[in-house]
Structure formats: structure tokens, C-alpha cells
Amino acid sequence: MKKMYFREWGIESSRYWGLLTVLAVIVAVAGLAVFYMEHNGHWVTGMNNQVVWGTPHVFAVFLIVAASGALNIASIGSVFGKKIYKPLAPLSGLLSIALLVGGLAVLVLDLGRPDRLIIAMTYYNFKSIFAWNIYLYIGFLVIVVIYLWTMMERKMNGYTKAAGTFAFVWRLALTTGTGSIFGFIVARQAYDAAIYAPMFIILSFALGLAFYMLILGFAFDWDKRDFGDKLFKRLKNLMGVFVAASLYFTIAYHLTNLYGTENHEYEAFILMDGGLYTMIFWVGQIFIGSLIPLGIIYHPALGQSRSAITAASLMILIGGLATMYTVIIAGQAFPMAMFPGKEIIESGFYDAGVAEYSPSLPEVALGIGGIAMALLVTVIGIRMLRFLPETLSDKALDPHG
């Protein structure tokens, strides 16, 4: 590979400030939604005593999981020695930080009492997976910043592999912790499954790479930089492998549940009788998020089209949101088995039927604001610092070119 040079994002100021304004307005609208919910109380949202994690949690977990996966490109270059991926590493680190910041912002602002975060940060219950995750999330931000420093400061280049290896192990722990939030909850039939940890890890690879493909393609297209077919095909095929693996884990999870009689009612709820939840699972998670993108990626003609792969990346992200909605919202809506094997005639504990939940506009605005914040951090980062290589042409990446 020839010597690679990096420079700031060089689009015209009018286009840059226009994009920045749009993103800032979305973030501001999300701020107004937070003020409305905090001022009036959570009764103005669709959440209730049964569904206590609403749509903002769907976006928050989605962004946190994607943040871990976005660092995968840097890990491939630094940890596993694939030199063709090394020019992509700085943007990979920046995007992972931006996505995590966006996700954590949504998570904190959806607590109902954000001031209680001080208590969560000073008093720890280490029997709770949430306490573990505070260390995992903050540690991830610090480690990735150090990782970026070793990549972008020449004097520190000798430590890049060590920092990258540590970041790789830490992000696996982070995604394991996020998946274990659901895997460790024994009271809900939808949860209490060890497979959630590896399922979230492989899902993070797919979501992170989909985000990365969209940001990289957009940045290079607007700045008229060359993005060669050689690297594009590698990234596209890698994304296909991750999506296929995510689909495999989804199938394995549901087949495992179907094998146990105690889970038949929940599986019938998700796969057949859940109404909107069933539709979101099949249409959003399976078809839009998995099967259609796989068809595009491995199609002889569509797989060579940049616009088609962009559409596939967007569909993967939509499928990721559908996955989180199914896991988080549907998992809470399904009634808890207070008395296994008994039929509930009437109960005051909301365990006799499926809980009702409809996302409110402020909840959706907060979630979208988290995505906008992540994009805002990324756009400012690539404009102010040298995160992007000048070219990714086939000739520049070919050692014999």
C-alpha cells in the first residue's frame, strides 16, 4: 500500500453549515421533547407500569450496540493486521464515540429524573448489570480516545496495536454487558437467555458496519474523493456475512424457545398472534433487516451498485431498530407468568393480558435526536480533524499499483 495521507472534510462552507443546521435543529427539537416530558411527567408518554422502557430505550440500545460494531473496522486493521483496512480506522473510532455519545444522551434523558444519575454514579450495586455497564460505557469512551491518539500521533504509532487489542476486548465486554441486561432478567419470558450476549455482539457488527458504509460513502461523495471498487466490495461482503450471522442467531434463539414448552405462548405471541409486534418482527426485523439486504448484497447486478448497497445499509439499520423494538417493547408487553401453569381469570397485577403501549411523539423525537447528535459529532469531527484519507482508490490501496 502506498503512503496514505489524511485531510479534513473539504466540502463548501454553505453545504457544511446547512447540514450542521439541519442536525442541530433536530437535536433542539429533541431537547424540547425532553423538557416537555420532564416538565409534565412520564404520563404524557406511552410508557406505563408494565412497559417502563419505551421507544427512547429502543433508540438508545440501538445506538450503543452500533457504537461497538462501528469500531470493528479499526480492529480489523490494527488487531488482525489487514492493512487495506488501516486507512479506515480513524473514522471508525470517531463514529464509535459519536454513536455511543448519542445513545447515552438518549438513555440519560429518558430516566425520568436525570438528577438521579448522580446517585447512580456514586452508589453502586454490583449485583446489577446496570452498574457494570456504567464502567463499560465510560471506559469504552476513554479507551477509544486513547486508541485514536495512537493512530493519529506519529510518535504513538508503535502503541496502536496494543491499544487496538485492548479496545477490541473492551467492546466485546461492552456489547456482552448490553445483551446481558436482557439475558439476566429472569422474570420475563422473552429474556432470561444466555444467547442474548453473542446475539448482540454479532448484531453490533452488522449495525456498526451499516452506519460506517453510509457515513463513509456520503463523506467521500460530497467531497468528491475516490472510493475504489476493491475496498467497497470487501466492506459490502463483510456486511453480508454479519447480517447472515445475525439472522442465524435470531433463528437459533426462537428455535431454542420453541423446544421448551414453557415458552410456547411467548413464541406464538411474537411469531403469530402479537399483532403489531408480529408484523414488526417479520416485516421489519426479518424481511427489511435481513432477507432483502442479503438478496441485494449477493445479487450479481445489485451487489455491484453503490446506490443499491446504500439502500441495503439503510434497511439493515431499520431492521436493527425493529429488532430492538421487538426485544425491548414486545418483551415487556407480554404478560409475566406469575403463576406458571395456571390460567389467570382476573388480576390486579397486569399479568392477565398483553400490556398496551403506543409510542408518543416526544419519545420518537428524543430517539431521533440521539441519532442526529451522533451524526453531528461525526460531521464536526471530520471537518475539524484529519479522520478521512484523501483517497481510497484501487491504485492507492494496491501495493503493486
DSSP string across 37-82: HHHH-GGGSS--SS--S-HHHHHHHHHHHHHHHHTHHHHHHHTS--
Mean pLDDT of 143-171: 92
Q: What is the average pLDDT score of the chain?
A: 89
Q: Is residue 261 part of a domain?
A: yes
**Stronger pLDDT, 3 or 234, i.e. the higher one:** 234
Q: Is residue 55 part of a domain?
A: yes
pLDDT of amino acid 183: 87
> Band of the pLDDT at 336, cuts 50, 70, 90?
confident
Report yes or no on whether pTM surpasses 0.75: yes
Is pLDDT above 60 for 401?
Answer: no
**Which residue do the cell numbers 491504485 mark?**
395
The domain that contains 294 carries what CATH number?
Answer: 1.20.1630.10
Mean pLDDT of 134-148: 92
Q: Is residue 394 part of a domain?
A: no
pLDDT tens, position by position, 91-139: 999 999 999 999 999 988 887 676 777 777 777 777 777 778 888 899 9
pLDDT of amino acid 346: 61
User: How many Å is the Cα radius of gyration of the chain?
Assistant: 22
Residue 153: give the domain boundaries. 6-228+235-336+350-388
Contact 390, 225 (CB under 8 A): yes
**CA geometry: angle 366, 170, 210, nearest 5 deg:** 50
Q: Is residue 400 part of a domain?
A: no
- Identify the weakest region by mean pLDDT among 16-25, 181-190, 273-282, 307-316: 181-190
Q: Is residue 345 part of a domain?
A: no
Residue among 102, 398, 68 nearest 242 (CA): 68
Contact 51, 332 (CB under 8 A): yes
Contact 159, 78 (CB under 8 A): no
Residue 151, classed as helix, strand or coil, is helix
Total domains present in the chain: 1
Contact 209, 235 (CB under 8 A): yes
Question: CA–CA separation, 62 vs 325, rounded Å?
Answer: 9
pLDDT tens, position by position, 223-235: 999 998 999 999 9
In sequence order, which ranges of 223-282 are alpha helices (DSSP H)? 229-259, 264-268, 276-279
228: left (phi over 0), alpha (psi -120 to 50) or beta: beta
pLDDT tens, position by position, 314-326: 999 999 999 999 9
